Amino acid sequence: MAAGKLGGEALASTKAMRIHGKWYDMRGFDHPGGPIMLSLGQGRDATALFEVHHPFTSRPKLEAILAKYETKEPCRLLDERDTGEEFEWPEVEQKDGGARTEAPISDFAFEVRQKVRAYFQAEAKRRGVSLLAATKATPARWLELGILFAIFVATLPGCFRGDLLALVAMSITYWVLGVNLLHDGSHFGLAQDWRINALGTYWGWYFSSPLEWYHQHVIGHHVYANIPNKDPDLYHNASMERHTKTLRWRPMHAHQAFTWAPIWIIGTYAMSFIKPVQMFLTGEYNRSLKMMELSPSRVTIHWAGRVITWLLCYALPFVIFPTWKAFLFATLPVTITSVSFMLSSQVNHLTPANVDQYDSDFYKHQVMTSHTIAHNSYATFLFTGGLNYQIEHHLFPTVNHCHHRHIQPIVKAVCDKYSVPYNYTPTLYGAFRKYLDHLVELGVKPQAAQKAE
């Protein structure tokens, strides 16, 4: 779509993306990640998003593709505050003025990417697949997901009969399957086919719609982890919880070491009901991220999907069962999902060692603000969908979580070599205790904290 005209002057387009200071209109490119991946960067400074999504692709190939789509047409950002200045990208010498042969990243980032790439090259050779295919879900991973799906389906007849034990079993298996399916799908980590990845994101009917999740998680949190005014996850319940010292203290924050429990119970209720409405009314997600531009038909489809989801999840039980039982069937699944999600996610970044940390090196920043937990526990891996490997996930988000247990020693060794703090806790309970310590620390009124010092 060419830039329109307004008063005889060109109207700058928001359909291009800015990468390392240049504008690229990629709409004519048949991206292997599909149109969804391209839409995430439109109207934004997509430098970090671009780099972290292409860790293993040949740099000359990337540069050649970008060169074809560079545009000199008037372009603008959805949000002028989206400068991309949070991170520095060191220039790499270009031979004879030709295309860049290496990514503009630090020695730390270069080494960790090269060593993880070498691991996947060996895996690709062993399995007889391409390098890209080697980073996605393995046959064993698909079998694992298939077993979880079969267990989930087996609980459904009992649910429709009104069996409460079946309801509990369905709720738990929904979460375990969902977190292992939806999350990797949203990061294009299930398969090479973008349609399979997109389909996986629709498992979130008790959780979040794909549109809101892409905004909150992929565009916002994964690029700007724990950066004030940039990471939406710092502001989900700002009136009740204080997760950064830059947020003004309120009296309610003094109780956050205790109020976390009800917040955990209602967490995904808010993500399912309140956040979609809030985002469309304000044009932003949690005051941190501008909403992408959508066509009228896309808006209609989105809201039709939301309404159908709400009717099936929360109204249908009242058609099938008596009121008391309908209430249980409408609330228990989303409550179990909410508590499970909060336990699997909050401990990954909200600890005293992770909050209010910053480094201008994008890759070091991801490590410093993340937290890996219980890397030897299969139960923790399955329950959290691999979110316990948060450091590895933030460095390589498009890699399926089934590989993180194998690349974890590689990542830690490189972190140790470059003295990058690698935050680790051996148990999920220990990580939860650190989360509580964080709540206590930031719940103290700043003046009181200064007097105590």
Distances, alpha carbon 431 to alpha carbons 152, 242, 313, 341, 393, in Å: 29, 18, 32, 14, 17
State the DSSP H helix or E strand holding residue 338, giving kind and residue range, or none if neither: helix 323-345
> H helices of 162-274, where?
164-186, 194-200, 210-213, 256-269
Whole-prediction pTM value?
Answer: 0.93
**What does the pLDDT read at residue 318?**
97
Axis-axis angle for helices 139-161, 164-186 (nearest 10): 150
> Which tens digits make up the pLDDT trace of 181-193?
999 999 999 999 9
Alpha-carbon gap, residue 308 to 182, rounded angstroms: 19
Q: Which of 390, 397, 352 is nearest to 374 (CA)?
A: 390
Parts of the chain with a pLDDT under 70? 1-11, 92-101, 448-453
Domain ranges of the chain: 11-84, 139-230+246-452
> Which value, in Å, is the radius of gyration of the alpha carbons in the chain?
22
Which listed CATH number (3.40.50.300, 3.10.120.10, 3.30.565.10, 3.40.50.720) goes with 11-84? Answer: 3.10.120.10
- The residue type found at 140 is A
- The residue type found at 361 is D
CA angle, residues 317, 323, 324, in degrees to nearest 5: 105
**What does the pLDDT read at residue 448?**
55
